[in-house]
Amino acid sequence: MNKRIYPLKFFPIFKEKVWGGRKLREIGKDLPENQKIGEIWELVDRPDSISIVSNGYYANKSFRKIICELKDDLIGTDKKLDSFARFPLLIKYIDAAENLSVQVHPDDAMALKFNENDPGKTEFWYIFDTQDNPKILCGCDPAIKNITDQRQIGKNLDLFKFIDIQKGDLIFIPAGQVHALLKGTVLLEIQENSDITYRFYDWDRIDESGNQRELHFDKAINAIKTELPSKLFQRVSDFKEGYSTILDSSYFKIDLLKTRNRFSSMCDGKSYKILIILDGYANFKYGTNYEESLFLKKTDIILLPASLGNFSIETSQCTEINAFFIS
């Protein structure tokens, strides 16, 4: 077997945030001590934050180096890097211990118009926990575009839509959709490789220096799309046991695996796959005769190179596994 082609695991990158907390420990993540961790970046290819491999032949090498070396063997013949020649997706876990800002992300065209150093940002959420406040802000009334003074946003929160959520919810947030995570929400986020956020409103929050965070009212108003997507909201419980496509967008495809049995598939050279364990545990087997194995548990993430070949996921009969395949 080619020792360079194998499932890649990465060291986490911890992001301390003013709104972060410690609840990612409750879904199985180890956290650095005495820090309010808002995000864990699990897979990323950016100049200021780049994933480092934690296993196998490429251990302690950067994701960027591996992309440059393996090329189509990693990415696939049907996939491309983004317009900045970077891996097109960013995968992270989020702990909103406090309300996040009311915000919007531009689409690719708007990001280009504003001369941003990133593409637009379409994202998708899997909800792990909603302990303190089982709602999110998602969507707005078209009348929001009539507001001309950012100081009026906090007095017009009735123009925003609030949606009840629970563990296992699947939420699609295309670029241009106004949204905000509210206190107590813990989730997985799959997104375009972009870090552009235009903030409308930040709940009048003040930092340690007594300053409010910067808002981006004019850009945000221009970036808004008021129509909700057709697949805004789904639930894992809506899907039967087996392999189902949840979302097939221009930026990523998300398939859900629910099984208590052995599942076999392959990477045929056309596209990488990102495997994310949502619940349960399993052995991931690969190699010519499935002689290689990785034990995977809840929240584990591995990147499967496009030329990996055949693989299988084997579970205990008494344990159902829920997992995403991202491509």
Contact 255, 170 (CB under 8 A): no
Residue spans of alpha helices (H) in the chain? 63-70, 72-75, 108-113, 217-223
**Separation of alpha carbons 284 and 279, rounded Å:** 15
In the annotation, is 199 catalytic? yes
- Token duo for residue 174: 């295309």
Contact 94, 123 (CB under 8 A): no
Backbone torsions φ then ψ of 213, nearest 5 degrees = -70, 155
Catalytic-labelled residue, pool 199, 205, 213, 260:
199
Q: What does each C-alpha distance from 319 to 261, 265, 279, 283 come to in angstroms?
A: 9, 20, 9, 12
DSSP codes of every residue in 149-167 = -GGGGGG-GGGEEEEE--T
Contact 176, 106 (CB under 8 A): yes
Q: What does each C-alpha distance from 243 to 55, 247, 254, 264, 317 come to in angstroms?
A: 28, 13, 11, 11, 17
Contact 38, 19 (CB under 8 A): yes
Residues labelled as active-site residues: 199
